[in-house]
A and B are shown apart, each in its own frame.
Chain A
């Protein structure tokens, strides 16, 4: 996902509660072990990028490629200027557009809800990278295979939290199991019903990354100016 891509149309506001809430409930009923989800309370994000760096250190993507990042904006309107932060990562959609386009079945929806890539099968065709409406995927220049956030599946499996969640200074990233009605993520989605939004709801991907405090104008492509990381002309 390149920040210079955030320059187009403004997204539309989602109507009604997120569809994945219902999906989570359904899943619990069918007895699946987990339904992993992340709730990002943007109000608590301080844009420190601890998540971004922790992900890099944990998952070792090639230099200059990122599985997650916090887009940081400056918003000028009505005589006011504000900062705005938006943590971005793979949405682990319940209807992931990246899965059906994979010609070799390397990208799949795991039983606990993560969208994963079996790199041993991936041929690096890049269809999934094109298909993802969130620009959440990239072709790993070192492995030649598609790459993206796994919700730190290797840590979940070990009973641990994703690296980005563990180190979120503002406690903005909350991770857990929607199949468990008592989990923190379930509680937050219930408490903030009506205010919870997802990115690009019109795509009907049914993300498992939910946001509290997501300004509707940031749900889609953002017409804004990044306040950090302006590439220098030599680098551009």
Chain B
């Protein structure tokens, strides 16, 4: 059909046959030729693949012996769905990918584990139309990314740079040489001595004058990408084995602000629990800063549930977003509606809603009035909140912002317990009007309290959490909020009215769209909407994920702990600990001016890769000797980082050793000293539980369903990231690796010498947890390709574990039956029993290390700001920067899917979206070349003029504008490797990310409270190029 021959000429990889060089895998074209022979077609079937199986009219199944089908995990994005992978056995090449019917990530409802693999295959067929009801899918990207494995740009052998960093010249080395050089260091590049990991691993302090920084071992850091199911092994190496505290993922430049906002509501901004809407039962969902069917996690499951709920279910929904995407579909007769908004102002919209809800008494007073879990349960609630808990509201009081405690009002509390967990909170009993300990209350407490109470002999102002939230919301009128966010006041009220018209069957959701300079407050406010209607863990509301099956604690093997494990100490380089506990603070306090610190600190946060770079570049509070990028690509992913990273990484003196574990040369590891080729996609190991939105427990098992294309170690094992950390650990003689490293529940010790030693034992734990899974039959093992694992399984595990572990791999994981997510009473099976925070005490007590000012413990409107509290518009006024730039998630392209050629054919680049009226004013038409500028610089892209974008907004779809992954030539072993200009198509919004001009040292613009990347609402202008 659609002929796009206009693109064909550009679609051929430059370099052609030169692709068969050292270091890169064979070309996709070559593989396809092998698979399908001559180009001449035959009959009506043409070049279509031969079917992988045959199901006859009676439901009899026969497999095609030239192919096999295995259940494993997709790595096309961070949703990480359970998939079925179809392999051509002659070439060991993955030819197609669709869904795993046992996995709720791909199927609804999923098959029970008790269904045989044979039954699972039949369930996908035409037989009895089972394949329609039991449909198990992969998304567009999931269907395409198998091409990453056969990309001509893939790295398959260990590489060492020759020449300066980023010169694009590499030498293939053996795995053993790479490990030896990384561990022992030396004059590795003819540029002088490089510290090896052995030298870095010292437990002497980094700085004796600042002992809180921790040991020198902290000067090795690892940035992983998403948790692709291997973090436990990486952590065992880096933290518990090597003893460094510095490990992080990509969360701070993904949806970190959302996670922190949800974490604040759920009372834990480190682990950051969160909930997502129950699409199947909700009557109304408000999406702000996330767009189901466009993006989100789990992208595909949400899309599947949304499609059904809006068509045959009860769901109406609104997507508030500067850009219209695929969430909306006119065919649903406006069950879904789009509301455009000014970027970076979501918190204003939501605080306007909250104000109206409170003023009009449209909140769930019964839910919010429950002072503890017990009375909440008695009242029939599935969760509870701290709305009624009293907060010290006396300005200047030493405990201003903290919760009033039982000991404060003279209730008996042991001195050692004062202000700790056993010192209860205080509420005003609704019936008597008297203050009581929250856990002693037997009925509802007063919702709104603003009064004084005698505390320590003085009358002290106190207020309930809800009153403080109300006060924050009432700082502006709905009309003022409307003027800020550009959403009409009657729309704000309309949204609030609709949101509060469905009891608990309404939900609010947000995600990466909250990544602005006001992102944390936006996410905090949006998640607060759910608390105000009391919808947590109630059908039709929001629910906390069922989670996975923990694989490392037991019951068969103790993988989470080992003899000699180190508890890493010190300050992490993301500065995500309180500044007030540092020597610097004490020194400055003694000098009379404790604030500002040299750079911001983020005490409420988990590790922050966004801040790592400022730290390493400035050496504050301390720099790194070595960094391992474990599949991560921060130079492409962090807005504004590129020039900073270039400065840092081009200078080996600032960071002596940069190692990457990756299947590709990307924008970050092009600076690497060494690249360890990673087993890609369906070649690798891991265990992953869903990120959100699955009510049942499920854990996906990823395993090499095809032979890795990577080089082999001297022992004949495929090189991969797992093998790398094991080899490093053994070379360094770290505890927890090698002989006798794993303790079994049987008291015996087992080795950790190869990936299978780890993964099979972890799988045994999963299989035996609680009620153990059933045994795989011979038929299950044969049909699912698990027969390929059996020799290694037999060599590793005792007989009684074999068939249970094989059962997991044959079904692509352990999956709880789909009907166990909710109790018969309509309450989520996996309760959340801590209070939801209307007031978050830890946040309220935390100060900005720059301004010394406390944060508010409840959501508040704060204009997007830099670290010193000055607004972005003060530095970059609207007259110079009349537009706001946002990033939009792509339905098809992700941060690492660009090597997939067929995906590029379908969606070759990312035109820059401009509103029709803005375009008219600027004389821009669709197809024009335009220059988009921010204070960081300019990019030139192609305009697409749209109505589906807010006025004053410019939008760039993420996933394009690459300059590596095959976009440029590298020379490996003297041989020029292919490159393809199509990989460089389009523009990257992150190239326009800005720095914070108020910081002492170069640092990217982040949300001032959470340090998470700010990419939404960057000051911008556009002109014809």
**Interface residues, chain A, CB within 8 Å of chain B?**
1-3, 41-50, 52-54, 56-69, 72, 74-76, 81-85, 88-90, 116-120, 135-138, 140-143, 145, 147-150, 152-161, 163, 165-172, 174-176, 183-184, 213-215, 225, 227-236
Contact partner, A167, options B99, B330, B901, Cβ 8 Å: B99
Is the CB of B361 closer than 8 A to any CB of chain A?
no
Query: How many Å lie between the Cα of A136 and that of B36 in the bound state?
Result: 24
Q: Contact between A49 and B906 (Cβ–Cβ < 8 Å)?
A: yes
Given A82-B334, A141-B5, 6 more A-B residue pairs with CB atoms under 8 Å apart are A54-B98, A60-B36, A60-B47, A143-B39, A158-B53, A215-B331
Q: Contact between A166 and B127 (Cβ–Cβ < 8 Å)?
A: no
User: From A159, which residue of chain B is reached at the shortest CB distance?
Assistant: B55
Q: Contact between A176 and B129 (Cβ–Cβ < 8 Å)?
A: yes
Contact partner, A236, options B6, B303, B338, Cβ 8 Å: B6
Which of A85, A148, A158 has the largest count of B CB atoms less than 10 A from its CB? Answer: A158
Q: Contact between A66 and B124 (Cβ–Cβ < 8 Å)?
A: no
Q: Contact between B330 and A58 (Cβ–Cβ < 8 Å)?
A: no
Query: How many Å lie between the Cα of A50 and that of B1 in the bound state?
Result: 16
- In the complex, which residues 1-49 of chain B have their Cβ closer than 8 Å to any Cβ of chain A? 1-8, 10-11, 32, 36, 39-49
Q: Contact between A170 and B303 (Cβ–Cβ < 8 Å)?
A: yes
Contact partner, A48, options B39, B303, B948, Cβ 8 Å: B303
Residues of A within 8 A of B338 (CB): 81-82
Against A, the Cβ 8 Å flags (1 = close, 0 = not) of B900-933 are 0111011111010000000000000011010000
Residues of B within 8 A of A90 (CB): 1
Query: How many Å lie between the Cα of A141 and that of B98 in the bound state?
Result: 28
Q: Contact between B304 and A53 (Cβ–Cβ < 8 Å)?
A: no
Against A, the Cβ 8 Å flags (1 = close, 0 = not) of B288-314 are 000001000000100110111011000
Residues of B within 8 A of A63 (CB): 8, 11, 901-902, 905
Which of B32, B43, B901 has the largest count of A CB atoms less than 10 A from its CB? Answer: B43
Shortest beta-carbon distance from A124 to chain B in Å: 11
Spot the interface stretch: B130-138, B515-523, B849-857.
Answer: B130-138
Is the CB of B332 closer than 8 A to any CB of chain A?
yes
Contact partner, A143, options B40, B143, B329, B332, Cβ 8 Å: B40
- In the complex, which residues 45-62 of chain B have their Cβ closer than 8 Å to any Cβ of chain A? 45-51, 53-57
Is the CB of B944 closer than 8 A to any CB of chain A?
yes
Residues of B within 8 A of A66 (CB): 1-2, 4, 906
Q: A2-B4, A57-B902 are in contact. Are A213 and B331 (CB under 8 A)?
A: yes
Contact partner, A161, options B32, B126, B330, B948, Cβ 8 Å: B126
Spot the interface stretch: B320-328, B369-377, B738-746, B877-885.
Answer: B320-328
Query: How many Å lie between the Cα of A38 and that of B198 in the bound state?
Result: 64
**Interface residues, chain B, CB within 8 Å of chain A?**
1-8, 10-11, 32, 36, 39-51, 53-57, 95-99, 124-127, 129, 131-132, 135-144, 146, 293, 300, 303-304, 306-308, 310-311, 324-332, 334, 338, 891-892, 901-903, 905-909, 911, 926-927, 929, 942, 944, 946-948, 985
Q: Contact between A47 and B891 (Cβ–Cβ < 8 Å)?
A: yes
A sample of 5 cross-chain residue pairs with beta-carbon separation below 8 angstroms, ordered by A number, consists of: A48-B139, A50-B140, A81-B338, A176-B132, A235-B6
Contact partner, A169, options B6, B125, B139, Cβ 8 Å: B139
Which of B4, B142, B334, B892 has the largest count of A CB atoms less than 10 A from its CB? Answer: B4
Q: Contact between A154 and B11 (Cβ–Cβ < 8 Å)?
A: no
Q: Contact between B2 and A159 (Cβ–Cβ < 8 Å)?
A: no
Q: Contact between B1 and A158 (Cβ–Cβ < 8 Å)?
A: no
Q: Contact between A174 and B132 (Cβ–Cβ < 8 Å)?
A: yes
Which of A81, A85, A213 has the largest count of B CB atoms less than 10 A from its CB? Answer: A81
Shortest beta-carbon distance from A185 to chain B in Å: 9
User: From B132, which residue of chain A is reached at the shortest CB distance?
Assistant: A184
Q: Contact between B927 and A42 (Cβ–Cβ < 8 Å)?
A: no
Residues of A within 8 A of B138 (CB): 50, 54, 167
Q: A43-B310, A50-B140, A158-B54 are in contact. Are A230 and B43 (CB under 8 A)?
A: no
Query: How many Å lie between the Cα of A168 and that of B43 in the bound state?
Result: 27
Q: Contact between A154 and B45 (Cβ–Cβ < 8 Å)?
A: yes
Shortest beta-carbon distance from A120 to chain B in Å: 6
Query: How many Å lie between the Cα of A81 and that of B378 in the bound state?
Result: 47
User: From B299, which residue of chain A is reached at the shortest CB distance?
Assistant: A48
Residues of B within 8 A of A136 (CB): 1
User: From B902, which residue of chain A is reached at the shortest CB distance?
Assistant: A56
Query: How many Å lie between the Cα of A92 and that of B56 in the bound state?
Result: 24
Query: How many Å lie between the Cα of A144 and that of B909 in the bound state?
Result: 29
Q: A60-B48, A64-B7, A149-B1 are in contact. Are A53 and B329 (CB under 8 A)?
A: no
Q: Contact between B908 and A229 (Cβ–Cβ < 8 Å)?
A: yes
Q: A46-B307, A116-B44, A171-B307 are in contact. Are A81 and B947 (CB under 8 A)?
A: yes
Q: Contact between B948 and A83 (Cβ–Cβ < 8 Å)?
A: yes
Shortest beta-carbon distance from A197 to chain B in Å: 11
User: From A59, which residue of chain B is reached at the shortest CB distance?
Assistant: B48
Q: Contact between A230 and B46 (Cβ–Cβ < 8 Å)?
A: no
User: From B304, which residue of chain A is reached at the shortest CB distance?
Assistant: A169
Contact partner, A43, options B44, B311, B326, Cβ 8 Å: B311
Q: Contact between B4 and A167 (Cβ–Cβ < 8 Å)?
A: no
Residues of A within 8 A of B40 (CB): 143
Shortest beta-carbon distance from B481 to chain A in Å: 22
Which of A54, A84, A116 has the largest count of B CB atoms less than 10 A from its CB? Answer: A54
Q: Contact between B942 and A230 (Cβ–Cβ < 8 Å)?
A: yes
Q: A43-B310, A166-B135 are in contact. Are A184 and B129 (CB under 8 A)?
A: yes
User: From A42, which residue of chain B is reached at the shortest CB distance?
Assistant: B331
Q: Contact between B49 and A82 (Cβ–Cβ < 8 Å)?
A: no
Shortest beta-carbon distance from A172 to chain B in Å: 7
Which of A53, A141, A154, A176 has the largest count of B CB atoms less than 10 A from its CB? Answer: A53
Q: Contact between B143 and A54 (Cβ–Cβ < 8 Å)?
A: yes
Query: How many Å lie between the Cα of A176 and that of B130 in the bound state?
Result: 11
Q: Contact between A41 and B48 (Cβ–Cβ < 8 Å)?
A: no
Q: A84-B330, A136-B1, A158-B51 are in contact. Are A50 and B6 (CB under 8 A)?
A: no
Q: Contact between B55 and A1 (Cβ–Cβ < 8 Å)?
A: no
Query: How many Å lie between the Cα of A45 and that of B985 in the bound state?
Result: 28
Query: How many Å lie between the Cα of A60 and that of B142 in the bound state?
Result: 17
Residues of B within 8 A of A184 (CB): 129, 132
Q: Contact between B55 and A154 (Cβ–Cβ < 8 Å)?
A: no
Shortest beta-carbon distance from A178 to chain B in Å: 13
Contact partner, B44, options A135, A142, A150, Cβ 8 Å: A150
Q: Contact between B129 and A230 (Cβ–Cβ < 8 Å)?
A: no
Shortest beta-carbon distance from B938 to chain A in Å: 18
Q: A53-B140, A171-B308 are in contact. Are A119 and B124 (CB under 8 A)?
A: no
Contact partner, A83, options B132, B303, B324, B901, Cβ 8 Å: B324
Ranked 4 nearest A-B pairs via Cβ: A170-B307, A213-B331, A159-B55, A64-B4
Q: Contact between B129 and A43 (Cβ–Cβ < 8 Å)?
A: no
Q: Contact between B99 and A232 (Cβ–Cβ < 8 Å)?
A: no
Q: A159-B56, A235-B10 are in contact. Are A2 and B2 (CB under 8 A)?
A: yes
Q: A43-B311, A45-B329, A69-B2 are in contact. Are A159 and B127 (CB under 8 A)?
A: yes
Q: Contact between A59 and B139 (Cβ–Cβ < 8 Å)?
A: no
Q: Contact between A143 and B46 (Cβ–Cβ < 8 Å)?
A: yes
Residues of B within 8 A of A88 (CB): 1
Query: How many Å lie between the Cα of A39 and that of B308 in the bound state?
Result: 15
Q: Contact between B143 and A46 (Cβ–Cβ < 8 Å)?
A: no
Q: Contact between B927 and A58 (Cβ–Cβ < 8 Å)?
A: no
Which of A62, A138, A157, A159 has the largest count of B CB atoms less than 10 A from its CB? Answer: A159
Residues of B within 8 A of A150 (CB): 44-46, 48
Residues of B within 8 A of A76 (CB): 947-948
Shortest beta-carbon distance from A140 to chain B in Å: 7
User: From B64, which residue of chain A is reached at the shortest CB distance?
Assistant: A158
Q: Contact between A235 and B908 (Cβ–Cβ < 8 Å)?
A: yes
Which of B6, B54, B140, B903 has the largest count of A CB atoms less than 10 A from its CB? Answer: B140
Shortest beta-carbon distance from A80 to chain B in Å: 8
Residues of B within 8 A of A176 (CB): 126, 129, 132
Contact partner, B135, options A60, A157, A171, Cβ 8 Å: A171
Q: Contact between A72 and B48 (Cβ–Cβ < 8 Å)?
A: no
Q: Contact between A53 and B902 (Cβ–Cβ < 8 Å)?
A: yes
User: From B97, which residue of chain A is reached at the shortest CB distance?
Assistant: A57
User: From A64, which residue of chain B is reached at the shortest CB distance?
Assistant: B4
